[in-house]
Amino acid sequence: MASGFRSGVVAALMLWAPLAFAASAPAEAVRAVYEQYLAAEKTGAMGPDHLDPKLYTPRVRAMIAKLQKACKGKDICLPDADFLVDGQDFKITDLLIRVISDQNGRAMIEATFKNFDTKVKRVFTLRENGGRWLIDDIDFGGGEKLKDQLKPNP
């Protein structure tokens, strides 16, 4: 019984990881996002919401709000897949987080991993805002940025 309770507590803590790590350092903030996916895999839960405004700066929150208003609750209008993991489903392995730069309240953090057998690379730009590190942009490669993902699907 104790081990079941302990497992439940550990799972709950992992789901709340972004709140715990957000203020410490930008790399930990990015790691905490992906730890939510890893925790969800273990429990069979759904992954985190990649459009959760709490993850983003006010600038990006405004883009998300504009997207949601344009879509008027129609899921088909929203991004086809979870752009944080490059897929609708996920099985994250080989997660590596690397600091590219970190100065004056702005950081660039690279996350590389495999989602199933697909290699994925994301370069996050984070800004410190109220003691928390928040995502301000994501470089998906090939010139694609977060703003491109936050446009309504036709």
Return the CATH architecture of domain 2-149. Answer: Roll (3.10)
Mean pLDDT of 15-20: 43
pTM assigned to the model: 0.83
103/153: higher pLDDT: 103
- Residue 83: the pLDDT is 96
Mean pLDDT of 45-72: 94
- Residue 24: the pLDDT is 67
Distance CA 86, CA 114 (A): 10
Q: Cβ distance 124 to 138 under 8 Å?
A: yes
Distance CA 40, CA 11 (A): 8
Domain ranges (residues) in the chain: 2-149
Nearest to 51 by CA among 139, 154, 138: 138
Residues of the chain by 3-state class (helix, strand, coil), percent to 5: 40, 30, 30
pLDDT band at 21 (very low <50, low <70, confident <90, very high): very low
What DSSP string describes 52-74?
-GGGB-HHHHHHHHHHHHHHTT-
- Strands of the 106-115 sheet, one edge to the other: 92-103, 106-115, 118-129, 132-141, 144-145
Distance CA 128, CA 63 (A): 19
The H-or-E segment that residue 118 falls in is strand 118-129
Mean pLDDT of 46-67: 94
Q: What is the pLDDT of residues 78-125, one digit of tens each?
A: 888 999 999 989 999 999 999 999 999 999 999 999 999 999 999 999
- Cα 27 to Cα 65, 84, 133, 139, distances in angstroms: 26, 15, 9, 16
pLDDT band at 14 (very low <50, low <70, confident <90, very high): very low
